[in-house]
Chains A and B, each alone.
Chain A
Amino acid sequence: MWWHAIWRKPEWKNWPLIVTQIYRLGVLSVVITVMSGFSIGAVLALQGYNQLVRYGSESALGLGVALVLVMEIGPVVSALLFAGRAGSAITAEIGLMKATEQLSSMEMMGVDSLQRIVSPRLWAGFIAMPILALMFSVVGIWGAALVGVEWLGVYEGAFWSGMQDGVTFSDHVLKGIVKSVVFGLVITWVAVFEGYDCQATSEGIASATTRGRCIFVCFGTGTGFFPDPYHV
């Protein structure tokens, strides 16, 4: 039944529902993602510069920050933020719909709630998560450039050309995108499942929301490193 909801190609008339969910889950998460991306990029640049300058290697700052953000921190931290903001909202919303019999009433009208409620949220998470992760990384790199180049005086040419030379789409950016797609799927899947499966009480909804987030934090932090060991 769940696979049916996930893998069934969305019907054309359901696209407005997916767009609405992309707005609610994705667009409304942009501010928190951009703010976190900027501050993490800035902090990485500041601390990275302090270490690299001791060996005269501050020109590698751009490359180091970009690799860390694009492959590791970008997908994982943006996914944790997404799980906290959007994942919890999905669980609570579906849980409340269940508790107030809105899901039952929909089913009794002959409307498949998996297709109407679950599927658009899954697809929206699947689409929004990689975009948010990329946004996080881009703003993080911009924050790093602001601190490294504008404030600490790293040579601008070295900062950007090092990044251009060392970061490739297939080896680095694509891996970050794949990670964030998987995270997007897992977060929304866990969130909708917990909402759908929760006990229809206020305590049941609260525990489902917490449980959904905890499951993803364990999964995200546990698997964030997995695709890259051969890179070490």
Chain B
Amino acid sequence: MTDHIVLENVVFTRGVRRIFYDVSLRIPRGKVTAIMGPSGTGKTTLLRLVGGQIVPDSGRVWVDEQEIPKLSREALFDVRKSMGMLFQSGALFSDYSVFDNVAFPLRIHTDLPDQMIRDLVLLKLQSVGLRGAADLFPSELSGGMHRRGALARAIALDPKIIMYDEPFTGLDPVAMGVIVLLIQTLNQVYGMTSIIVSHDIAETASIADMVYLISDGKVVGAGSPDHLYKEDSPRVQQFIKGLPDGPVPFHYPAADFEDELLEEIPNR
């Protein structure tokens, strides 16, 4: 199996809502793969399936030839040591300084001496440009710095896979450019398999080798960014061009507007 991560016929339901109907995708080793799609299509859910935080109703999820939903709790934690995840919120530990946040996985999973941990943490912080902010606490960081700190922590153990959950959301153009550059550099330097979940088309397409477009619980487009730009499918074109209405409707399903305006005030 040359692909690093494989999802086969995954079906997943949350409550009464079916998130994925029949999703199959392959994420190649050492490449940057983007998972794109409108908000609420389950892009983050897909990352949680890969990380084993949730289990599919049916179908298979393979990471490095190991079937994630079938692993024991201990085995799953072992697999996760080779994964890094950048959460949308950053999720830095609020009681720890930036330095201690980055040192956290090293202190837990290795027996390295303090001096070596310090050097490794400073190296990671230097690579994201936050060495000078090592002693700051998360509450003292800007949004972009927070995400860079979280990125340094995610790569602390030099994982083979790194997952980015909406890495560009809420950032100013400068911070966004910095994160784009960092993702690209990390992929090239460390050869990590990178998965970016995003709906920022231009930034993601600029660094992705492969893009999967998900909508309505299915994969509706797959290929290189150039391939997707040329795709005829109205669903793909609506997303790529950012059209407000189309196969993905602007309006949430509702009763007829005129009827609703004319009816008596309902008991809500």
- Residues of A whose CB lies within 8 Å of any CB of B are 100-102, 104-112, 116
Contacts and interface: CB of A to CB of B under 8 A. Distances in A.
B254 to A, nearest CB: 25
Contacts of B157: 109
A109 B53 contact: no
A112 B84 CA distance: 15
A108 B53 contact: yes
Interface in B76-101: 77-81, 83-85, 87-89, 91-94
Contacts of A102: 91-94
By CB atoms of chain A within 10 A, which of B79, B91, B157 has the most? B91
A4 B159 CA distance: 28
Given A102-B93, A102-B94, A104-B53, A109 B105 contact: yes
A110 B77 contact: yes
Nearest to A93: B95
Given A110-B77, A112-B77, 16 more contacts: A101-B88, A102-B92, A104-B53, A105-B87, A106-B93, A107-B77, A107-B80, A108-B51, A108-B80, A108-B83, A108-B85, A109-B109, A110-B79, A110-B108, A110-B109, A111-B104
Interface string B143-158: 0000000100100010
A106 B89 CA distance: 14
Interface of B: 51, 53, 73, 77-81, 83-85, 87-89, 91-94, 104-105, 108-109, 150, 153, 157
15 contacts: A100-B89, A100-B94, A101-B87, A102-B93, A102-B94, A104-B91, A106-B93, A108-B80, A109-B84, A109-B104, A109-B109, A109-B157, A110-B77, A110-B108, A116-B108
A3 to B, nearest CB: 13
A106 B108 CA distance: 11
A111 B109 CA distance: 8
Contacts of A110: 77-81, 105, 108-109
B91 A112 contact: no
Contacts, number: 52
B106 to A, nearest CB: 10
Contact of A105 (B91, B108, B109): B91
Contacts of B87: 101, 104-105
Contacts of A104: 53, 87, 91
A112 B94 contact: no
B52 to A, nearest CB: 9
B45 to A, nearest CB: 13
B221 to A, nearest CB: 28
A111 B89 CA distance: 19
Contact of B53 (A100, A107, A111, A112): A107
A23 to B, nearest CB: 14
B108 A111 contact: yes
A77 to B, nearest CB: 31
A100 B79 CA distance: 24
A104 B150 CA distance: 13
Nearest to A109: B105
A110 B88 CA distance: 19
B91 A101 contact: yes
Given A107-B80, A110-B77, A110-B81, A100 B91 contact: yes
Of A101, A106, A109, A112, most B-chain CB atoms within 10 Å = A109
A81 to B, nearest CB: 25
Contacts of B80: 107-110
Contacts of A107: 53, 77, 80
Contacts of B85: 105, 108
A198 B80 CA distance: 25
Given A109-B104, A110-B80, A110-B81, A101 B53 contact: no
Nearest to B74: A112
A49 B150 CA distance: 64
B74 to A, nearest CB: 9
A30 B84 CA distance: 41
Contacts of A106: 93
Listed from nearest, the 8 A-B pairs whose CB atoms lie closest are A105-B91, A110-B80, A101-B91, A110-B81, A110-B77, A108-B85, A109-B105, A101-B87
